[in-house]
Structure 1
Amino acid sequence: MRTVGTEVRGIRAPIVKEGDQLIDIVVDSLKQSIKEEGIELRDRDVLGITESLVARAQGNYIDIDDIAAEIEEKFEGDSIGIVFPILSRNRFSMILKGIARSGKKIFLQLSYPNDEVGNPLLDARKLYDLKIDSYQHVIEEEEYYEKFGDFKHPFTGVNYVDLYKEIAAETEIEIIAANQPESILDYTDQVIAADIHTRERTKEILKENGAQKVIGLDEICNQDHGKGYNPQFGLLGSNKASDKKLKLFPKDGEQFVEAVQKEIKEFSGKEVEVMIYGDGAFKDPAAKIWELADPVVSPAYTKGLEGTPNEVKLKYLADNDLKDLKGEELLQAMKDEIKEKEADLTANIKSQGTTPRRLTDLLGSLCDLVSGSGDKGTPIILIQGYFDSLADE
């Protein structure tokens, strides 16, 4: 009887630079690990490659002047509104710097007390003490500094109003805090919806309330002008690369994962699923911050990773249907339940409490937790046995 289920390994790889043959690097790193660690590949193993490796090898970079040029091209007039960006030195700061370089006056609307992924702009307790209705009240910049100006993010130690004003110092910038998207229209009718997961609804509300021009960050740097771009996500998923450059989310991911899968099949004979992963989809219990600042967990994956888990809940069966059984008899009955389960357990009480999330979100989150974002040096993750169950010998 097998005594181990899912196994996850971080695979070390060389430092990847623009122009490197990443497919060869990934496959060679896997081969080396198999040789050194005695790993035996199996069908339906999963290989995850972090999105930064793919984008870096592609050279999918832009600089802040590219952003400025697009802002000047897409927006008329001398002012622009930006609604609901996240509070981030890594994610939004460089985008703001590029928009500021266009020379347009910026009206920046931040949500409060937290941004979309949970970063705090101000002390939520103070809102209650001051009896401020966050659903309706617009906090002007002067009021913010008067009542909340001493606030710093508990983990980064940064006051983001100060930071964003400093970053956009080459133009005029006015910052407000408000939770209704249409509040920005009191200042300008030219608007960028800078939120990530709620952007489509934000754009709808702005248009319904009379905005003349509305685009999302996904509609900036999304065309091929001989430089970096991402046709689906534009600036979403970008990261600061230097004081002037951003690394975009990788493009052409489907071709990449299919090519890696093919190479692995040729040398091993095994059908390994391959995915590109970025941020994991989980929330930190201490910081209360939702990790997912990328537009999706996985921008590309092979076809075998479509769908959601279809699993029975062992705890439920043990406490209910099989509660009178013990030992080997219980184990065998549990295996039989797994083997005979329905092809679709949606709304079936036997699956209650299982996680009805997409496989790519679950697997990508697992990859992100294992690889981390620091100095582990394991940007490739091998997951084995994920699709096995207790009934598999």
Structure 2
Amino acid sequence: MVEKFLWQRMRSLVKEYGERVAAQVLAVKTGLILPHDDIAATVAEAVRGIVEDGDIVCVTEAVVARSQNRYLSCEELAEQVKDIFGLKPKSTLAVVYPIASRNRFALVLKAIAMASQGGRVIVAFPVPADEVGNQVIDAELARVRLGLKMLYKHLSSARGSTPYLNILIREVIAALTLQSLGYSIVGMRKILGSGIADITVRTPEGVLAPLEVTFVEHERAARKAVEILEDMPEAGQALAAGVDLGRKEFALFDARRYLEGDREPLRQVSFAEQLSAFAEEEVIHGRELPNEVFCHPITGIDYRRLYSEVIQEAGAQGDVIFTNNPLKVYELGYLDGIVLGEVHNRQERRDLFLALGAKVPVKTLDELGPSPWGVIGSNVSDYEKGILKLLPEDADGTAEQIRKRILKDTGKDVEVLIFGDGAYKDPDTGIYELADPYPALGVSEGMRDLRLRTGKKLKLVVDTLYNKGYSREEIARLVAETREEQSDLGTTPRRLVSIAATLADLLAGSADQGTPIVLVRGIKRD
């Protein structure tokens, strides 16, 4: 009764103030929609008495796919992956640039790991975020570390003729080792030109500290660090580090305690096994930073650890790397296949691998799983049981069926759109809300040939005409007549179906209204 009253009230307001209301977006609730339900009949019944001629009826892909029983288990997907790549036991697969999402990709990764049959799965993340903006590694840490690794490589190749470079090399090794131990590099006097100590760090406990580096003169380094501490009122600790390039050992000391006679290192580690990784200037291996936790700023999830655990639980060995050069996966040993995890850049990425003569199969996510989308845009249906919900089958055809059913049951001539993620970037989280291939996954026949929608920037037109001295009445007339005086600058071209789908997702999906149907009314289609 309340909803009916609200609809009637809204209609009366629109009628009363019709000239002011240019467009409306209306969310519609339904009952539960379950597998094998008649989605066309359900939607037609839900919009009865509400829908009007010319409306765009937007239906979320989630309920359409559910009505089609579009589900896939990890076991089923693993078998398909094995067949596609021709995998044998103990195979090695690389997964390049997947979306960082428990909901969107964790079960897909589990199936890939299962398909390796006790083998190895390498996950390559881009730096510092995936293609939709999910942060996978701290941007500043990655920037500093990759810069230090590049410097280490160049210094190492040049020091044969310049032994003095060992002084810089020891500081680079110290900084890289400190990062591995969970310390943040704040400044480096000689190398980064910042700070007044050899290295300024923030400890794992969050304490700012000057640190002096030496080969063997630990007492001298400790004394200097304590002196620098007196000039850094914001610092709470002084540190000294010894780097033995011959033995490849690193020792870290509390400078004050060292001068008081306590020579026990805070940390003492060998960096022998890390030297090869230090020289990889384009790659950060997950194992380099075992003490770092890369929590997503919004979800709080460390996707490096989550994906490693998913792979291990599926019985395979997991390795995670961070690199902006996807071809680096070829340098990590023999591969039996490569899965490209991106949604929007998948074809360009595939072309890159194939152009360089890929000798192993390279597949995109839409080639894994049932057509037409494979596992692109899939969501977790049951995490514990390992069940994925896929995108709808024949979304265009389904949209047309819904349109015809609405016309039959209500007499209203509408268009229908099946929507996924809306194409927008959240300014608060930095996440680009488009993990599906398109905002509009399917549309009825009347919307399939719509061109990119363009228009004049009305705000610029009004400002321009006002600055030319036109009166209010003249501006209104010229705007209505679209005279030549208007600016040639247009609005950003977008397809109407993408605009409508984004509006629908903002209201139904992101606002979490429990409204799988959204009516978009009054938007011009030309």
What's 2:478 paired with?
333
* Cα displacement (A) at 1:375: 4.5
- Equivalent of 1:251, from 386, 393, 397? 393
What's 2:141 paired with?
126
What's 1:237 paired with?
377
Instruction: Map 1:44-193 to 2 at 5 A.
Output: 45-75=55-85, 76-77=87-88, 78-102=91-115, 103=117, 104-130=119-145, 131=147, 137-145=282-290, 149-169=292-312, 170-187=315-332, 188-189=334-335, 190-193=337-340
What's 2:368 paired with?
220
Give the Cα separation in 2 of the matches to 1:351 and 1:145.
Answer: 56
Give the Cα separation in 1 of the matches to 2:465 and 2:73.
Answer: 61
Give the Cα separation in 2 of the matches to 1:27 and 1:80.
Answer: 46
- The CA deviation string for residues 272-307 of structure 1, in whole angstroms up to 9 with x for no partner, is 111000001111111111110111111111243322
Give the Cα separation in 2 of the matches to 1:232 and 1:48.
Answer: 21
Return 173-182 or 127-136, whichever deviates more.
127-136
* Cα displacement (A) at 1:267: 4.3
Whether the aligned pair in 2 keeps the contact of 1:108 and 1:175 (CA below 8 Å) is yes
Give the Cα separation in 2 of the matches to 1:349 and 1:68.
Answer: 59
* Cα displacement (A) at 1:123: 1.1
* Cα displacement (A) at 1:133: 7.5
User: Match of 1:58, as an amino acid?
Assistant: Q
When the two chains are superposed, the root-mean-square deviation of aligned CA atoms in Å is: 2.3
The 1:55/1:132 distance shift into structure 2, 3 A limit, reads farther
For the residue of structure 2 that corresponds to 1:94, the secondary structure is helix
Instruction: Please tell me whether residue 283 in structure 1 is matched to residue 283 in structure 2.
Output: no
Return 311-320 or 289-298, whichever deviates more.
311-320
What's 1:309 paired with?
453
Give the Cα separation in 2 of the matches to 1:13 and 1:163.
Answer: 36
What's 2:21 paired with?
4
User: Match of 2:464, as an amino acid?
Assistant: N
Instruction: Please tell me whether residue 274 in structure 1 is matched to residue 274 in structure 2.
Output: no
- The CA deviation string for residues 102-123 of structure 1, in whole angstroms up to 9 with x for no partner, is 2232111111111111111111
User: Match of 2:456, as an amino acid?
Assistant: V
Give the Cα separation in 2 of the matches to 1:374 and 1:132.
Answer: 44
Whether the aligned pair in 2 keeps the contact of 1:81 and 1:184 (CA below 8 Å) is yes
User: Match of 2:421, as an amino acid?
Assistant: D
Give the Cα separation in 1 of the matches to 2:381 and 2:72.
Answer: 9
User: Match of 1:20, as an amino acid?
Assistant: D
Instruction: Please tell me whether residue 194 in structure 1 is matched to residue 337 in structure 2.
Output: no
What percent identity do the matched residue pairs reach?
Answer: 32
Whether the aligned pair in 1 keeps the contact of 2:422 and 2:506 (CA below 8 Å) is yes
Instruction: Please tell me whether residue 18 in structure 1 is matched to residue 35 in structure 2.
Output: yes
* Cα displacement (A) at 1:352: 2.2
Instruction: Please tell me whether residue 31 in structure 1 is matched to residue 48 in structure 2.
Output: yes
Consecutive unaligned residues of structure 1, counting only runs of 5 or more, are 222-228, 342-347
Structure 1 runs, 4 residues or longer, greater than 6 Å off? none
The 1:133/1:355 distance shift into structure 2, 3 A limit, reads farther
* Cα displacement (A) at 1:145: 2.5
- Equivalent of 1:42, from 53, 58, 64? 53
The 1:349/1:112 distance shift into structure 2, 3 A limit, reads farther
* Cα displacement (A) at 1:127: 2.7
For the residue of structure 1 that corresponds to 2:99, the secondary structure is coil
User: Match of 2:379, as an amino acid?
Assistant: N
The 1:191/1:350 distance shift into structure 2, 3 A limit, reads same
For the residue of structure 2 that corresponds to 1:9, the secondary structure is strand
Instruction: Please tell me whether residue 381 in structure 1 is matched to residue 518 in structure 2.
Output: yes
For the residue of structure 1 that corresponds to 2:432, the secondary structure is coil
For the residue of structure 2 that corresponds to 1:163, the secondary structure is helix
For the residue of structure 1 that corresponds to 2:417, the secondary structure is strand
Return 57-66 or 75-84, whichever deviates more.
75-84
Whether the aligned pair in 2 keeps the contact of 1:48 and 1:382 (CA below 8 Å) is yes
User: Match of 2:110, as an amino acid?
Assistant: K
Whether the aligned pair in 2 keeps the contact of 1:136 and 1:179 (CA below 8 Å) is no
The 1:253/1:152 distance shift into structure 2, 3 A limit, reads same
